[in-house]
Amino acid sequence: MFNKAERVISARNLRPKKKEGFLKVISIFSFLGIMLGVAILIIVMSVMNGFRTDLTNKILGFNPHIIIKPYNGNIKNSYKILKNKFSDFEIKTSFSGEGVIIKNDLAKGVMVKGVRSKEVKENNFLKKNIIKGNFKNFSGGSIILGKELASILEIEIGDKLNLMSTAFISTPLGGLPKQEVFKLAAIFESGFYEFDQNFIFLNLNDALPFFNKTEDDLSLEIYLKDPFQVDFYKDQINKMNEPFSIYSWSDLNKSFFSALKVERNVMFIILTLIIIVAAFNIISGLTILIKNKTKEIAILKTLGLSNNSITKSFFLTGFTIGVLATITGVIVGTVFSYYIEEIRYFVSTFFNLEIFPADVYFLDKMPSEINFTSISIIFFSSILITGIASYFPARIISNMNTITALKYE
């Protein structure tokens, strides 16, 4: 594509003389601008992808993929209908409500989920995240809660605590919220701040009477082999024309994930502008270089070198800066993304700064997912932008008049 003469001219252009120091500065800024643009773009995309994946995994670990509530309240009949129609997903029953947990002079509003002991013990996500206590202790009269909530209430395994229900009981003094005492069986740490601070698990046999409910008030929970096929199964269930109220995990978090997607796309566009701005430095540098090299260009033309060859040699100069900067940016961005949590921890500790507060971003550590498809798109986009930026100033040479150039030199 490029002959030896073109490569030699390009190499000489990349090593400006001392009197051309300004060109060297422009070249350095072009290189740094493109490199930083590519690196920052990769880091931001990796963090956004990691944030989405981590949140999705934690949401799916705690929540069912589809929740069904029969309008007629006949939970057993609804269970049989679904079981006969579908054999490729798992169906469980549960009950969810709200309560207030009380310990000494501390109180905290919580989401209460009543589940069967066997089903909790089969939950792989919870199994992996139990940090204190044991599933074996989870039976009647016991409770499981998150690390953050345990820290707020200052409780340990075996401690007893009061739980206040939204259901009322009649007394001579009027209606009062129902209260019961439960024993702490285990503490989990999901890494999702909202869950660790606000969720508790009760045995289903305790939860129903605690909220004055019966089995007809239960919800059916469906767990799919592939959670991302949830819309397909939801449509299939809707086509059954049964008296079901149906919503999926994606319905519950649709606005949140849509906002993440929009934010990721906007960040990609904004940060791509950094690369475009840096590419303008290449245009400026090559234009100045061509003007300074007018005499040399005219001599090369006189010696028989074609306009096309000279154009290609100057194009190669700018393109080389762009390619080297892009490759360096990819390496820096990938390495930074891989070690981003370690870097965050070091900066937070060294400067005593809270860079990624868990109560704001939901997660207890900065996530990162290196996606090679995204890196490839960024790489080729950067190469295309620098290629275009290098081409237009190089085209100036084809309009240069050799005799006029020599006359005024």
Q: Report helix, strand or coil for 82.
A: helix
Degrees, nearest 5: CA angle 145-148-154: 85
Q: Is the pLDDT of residue 167 over 70?
A: yes
For the stretch 84-133, pLDDT in tens is 777 778 888 888 888 888 887 788 889 888 888 777 777 777 777 888 88
Q: Are 81 and 240 in contact (CB under 8 A)?
A: yes
pLDDT band at 329 (very low <50, low <70, confident <90, very high): very high
Strands 142-146 and 160-171: unpaired
H/E stretch holding 246 reads strand 244-248
Report d(CA 92, CA 303) in Å as an integer.
84
The whole-number average pLDDT for the span 279-283 is 80
Q: Which of 75-84, 287-296, 382-391 has the highest mean pLDDT?
A: 382-391
The whole-number average pLDDT for the span 12-19 is 65
- Mean residue pLDDT of the chain comes to 80
Q: Is the pLDDT of residue 405 over 60?
A: no
Q: Is the pLDDT of residue 299 over 80?
A: no
More confident residue, 108 or 404: 108
pLDDT band at 335 (very low <50, low <70, confident <90, very high): very high
| Residue 327, pLDDT score | 93
More confident residue, 184 or 7: 184
Q: Taking the complete model, does pTM exceed 0.75, yes or no?
A: no
| Residue 407, pLDDT score | 57
| Residue 330, pLDDT score | 93
> Which amino acid is residue 383, in one-letter code?
I
Helix, strand, coil fractions of the chain, as percent rounded to 5: 60, 20, 20
In 208-222, which positions are buried (b, 16+ CB within 10 angstroms) versus exposed (e)? bebbeeeeeebbbbb
H/E stretch holding 386 reads helix 372-394
> 119 Cβ partners below 8 Å, 6+ apart?
92, 94
Q: Are 241 and 146 in contact (CB under 8 A)?
A: no
More confident residue, 11 or 33: 33
> 313 Cβ partners below 8 Å, 6+ apart?
2, 5, 6, 7, 9, 10, 13
> 22 Cβ partners below 8 Å, 6+ apart?
288
The whole-number average pLDDT for the span 140-166 is 88
242-246, 297-301, 346-350: lowest mean pLDDT where?
Answer: 297-301
Q: Match 């949830």 to its residue by tokens.
A: 230
pLDDT band at 398 (very low <50, low <70, confident <90, very high): low
| Residue 21, pLDDT score | 55
The whole-number average pLDDT for the span 29-36 is 84
Count CB-CB contacts under 10 A for residue 368.
22
pLDDT band at 64 (very low <50, low <70, confident <90, very high): confident
In 3-32, which positions are buried (b, 16+ CB within 10 angstroms) versus exposed (e)? eeebeebbeebbebeeebeebeebbeebbe
Percentage above 70 pLDDT, the chain: 89
Domain segments of the chain: what residues?
4-57+256-407, 90-223
276-285, 322-331, 390-399: lowest mean pLDDT where?
Answer: 390-399
The whole-number average pLDDT for the span 156-183 is 81
pLDDT band at 332 (very low <50, low <70, confident <90, very high): very high
The whole-number average pLDDT for the span 378-394 is 86
Helices (H) and strands (E) in the chain, counts: 17, 10
